Structure 1
């Protein structure tokens, strides 16, 4: 066991009350060299048997009651340092107006949206009706209610740039006769590394916090811990609460780049058309020194890992450069297991919405000799028996539309079939989980977290992967 890992394991266990023999012991490096590995391992025991319903996804009503939609939006607004005029209602309604077309900046016909001309439905009038409601009022006929919390520790980059994403899913509950259908909003907050100087090892206490929920049989105790982790702080020493404006891709100023974290929508308002969009926060001030001139916007950005179908047809000006980029994805798309299938297209190739009901999102449907021949050549080079069609079907699984609707049941070659959803969603209004989650994704995320903890107890940490990969093997910013 390495000295560095031994110390880190002890620190992490003490910080979370995991039973250190002497929490006042502060060994020097010299002392540590004389400690045998067996005694060190006892302070950071291997973990196993993680309860998925406590440590990976949480749907207990007692827990969800702490996560009212108004509380999360209020927390984002307050941590963005905004004037009192920027109310929850103003922020929400301006966000929903982005589904409409108007001269206002940020609406769907803004020139900054879809600059490559891949195509976006604008306006979406059913969704735009949400800009007329106040979902925070007690008597509102349109509300968003929490249905699940998701631990995405597996999305922590291998370089420790942050410690993963921690998601809150809200489902629309409408009794308004003019607004029907289904709608989900997912807050996907990035958690900064509480000890960035330690790299990814600094995230150990975060993993131990979530795994430790397994041993807590008291749902009210777990609710209090998760409330601290997400909202009030103090759950993990040195770690900020998840719900802060800075953790949802906040950019300061009109031209600054967005950070990590995002909010996604999965909307089917009035049962018109299922589609998914992605948003990140931007704060702008007319006068930097005058708080009263500041506003916060949910800025419409590309949906990550959703390359435009026009690029596969060969008819778009960027098609040639995309072919080169896509061929580089073939080795990971040809993975032997479902959880290993990945792709990471450059952001310039991503669309601004993913439509779950369109047939043209199935990449295998396009007969473009240039990309098919390039993929076939790459498959031969890596010794794969998969076909180009199977690679294209695997690529579709990585998109929002594929993962949520068009790929379930699709044969992918190599004995693999994409698992089932609940029909456009992986968690529904009643907190039911999809077979894809329960049988494939959640067990894998549990495995990643347990291995991360155990590696840091027994010193068998593998060599670091590329910086653009997460500890779960996904590209940075991938949705799934």
Structure 2
């Protein structure tokens, strides 16, 4: 988690305090924001989580290992598309579920709004590997606001739960509390691990992300997946890779019907100096791309070049889109160039 996001989460938690509760300065990030203590993490296994999701659906025909074995992917078939765009197909081998070890629990209360109370995540690493494949998986559950009419105030029980962990000096006790929060729920708040909490950002819910590499000689691929609740069995489906546009939408010559929507989204993100794509810090850079512009994966190599490298490869720095960007930059008072 980026430092700015940690501070934002801490600030929002602090806003939930009363005078009798700990001051914001008392928030300890390693207890209330990102937990990496082995004694606590050892209580969380990938198998137990997927068994919980299977139970939510009443699915007795699959095991947790079956879920990984049947994970959606493709076998390099020709003419594959996702969300209406061509996609580079990769088979996904996730291997033995017992090889996955938790590496962090994360409090993303900073993502809360009036309708939902943020995301509560757990990240796993495939520590033993699957042949040469390398996998990192993060389950990002979004908790609904139990009292949306109250706005963020409805999320107070969740904020206070995380805040109070800072004052608890007993690691075992914090572990018990976190396990209950994630697996069972607290104070009328449902369990984090619930099949309804991973139904995808396009459905106002959380998601499951996978960072996958077939071998140490291939590029990283980042994918997003979602559950399809009330299916009668646990169904995992591929979702769009958010804020990862189809690269050819950036070309002046594009005849794709969504090219103008992509270009409008970029220009809208250049309206105010200090915000969105004109933010003053790397961590604050953002763009609101509609989901129908997103592809099925984000690709990055060992040098960190992601799919936006493909966008730049289709961008004409002397073309009409570049001219529109420059006009927007000038209007915003920015000294940047396209």
- Indicate whether the TM-score tops 0.5: yes
Cα distance in 2 for residues equivalent to 1:164 and 1:75: 21
Q: Cα distance 1:173–1:44, how it changes in 2: closer, same or farther (>3 A)? A: closer
> What is the aligned counterpart of 1:169 among 105, 123, 126?
123
Name stretches of at least 5 consecutive residues in structure 2 with no aligned partner.
Answer: 1-12
Deviation at 1:76, TM superposition (A): 1.2
Cα distance in 2 for residues equivalent to 1:200 and 1:303: 27
**2:243 corresponds to:** 305
Deviation at 1:311, TM superposition (A): 1.5
DSSP-derived class of the 2:102 partner: strand
**1:438 corresponds to:** none
1:161-181 CA-to-partner distances (Å, cap 9, x unmatched) read: 1100011001012365xx124
DSSP-derived class of the 2:51 partner: helix
1:208-261 CA-to-partner distances (Å, cap 9, x unmatched) read: 211221111211111111101111222xx221110000000179xxxxx73410
> What is the aligned counterpart of 1:314 among 252, 263, 269?
252
Deviation at 1:374, TM superposition (A): 1.3
Cα distance in 2 for residues equivalent to 1:238 and 1:359: 41
What is the count of residue pairs matched by the alignment? 311
Deviation at 1:298, TM superposition (A): 1.3
Cα distance in 2 for residues equivalent to 1:88 and 1:151: 25
> What is the aligned counterpart of 1:156 among 100, 112, 132?
112
Structure 1 contact 275–356 (Cα < 8 Å) conserved? yes
Superposition map of 1:71-470 within 5 A: 71-82=48-59, 84-95=60-71, 97-100=72-75, 113-115=82-84, 117=85, 119-122=86-89, 124-125=90-91, 127=92, 129-130=93-94, 133-136=95-98, 143-157=99-113, 160-174=114-128, 179-234=131-186, 237-249=187-199, 258-271=203-216, 272-283=218-229, 285=231, 294-316=232-254, 317=256, 318-330=258-270, 331=272, 332-357=276-301, 361-362=308-309, 363-365=311-313, 366-368=315-317, 369-388=319-338
Structure 1 contact 114–120 (Cα < 8 Å) conserved? no
Q: CA RMSD in A?
A: 2.6
Q: Cα distance 1:259–1:80, how it changes in 2: closer, same or farther (>3 A)? A: farther
Q: Cα distance 1:109–1:230, how it changes in 2: closer, same or farther (>3 A)? A: farther
Q: Cα distance 1:144–1:352, how it changes in 2: closer, same or farther (>3 A)? A: same
Q: Cα distance 1:387–1:175, how it changes in 2: closer, same or farther (>3 A)? A: closer
Cα distance in 1 for residues equivalent to 2:225 and 2:97: 19
Name stretches of at least 5 consecutive residues in structure 1 with no aligned partner.
Answer: 1-8, 14-40, 103-107, 137-142, 252-256, 286-293, 389-480
Structure 1 contact 174–180 (Cα < 8 Å) conserved? no
Q: Cα distance 1:314–1:94, how it changes in 2: closer, same or farther (>3 A)? A: farther
**2:5 corresponds to:** none
Off by >6 Å, runs of 4+ in structure 1: none
**2:43 corresponds to:** 66
DSSP-derived class of the 1:295 partner: coil
TM-score scaled by structure 2? 0.84
Cα distance in 1 for residues equivalent to 2:196 and 2:242: 19
Q: Cα distance 1:45–1:57, how it changes in 2: closer, same or farther (>3 A)? A: closer
Structure 1 contact 171–183 (Cα < 8 Å) conserved? yes
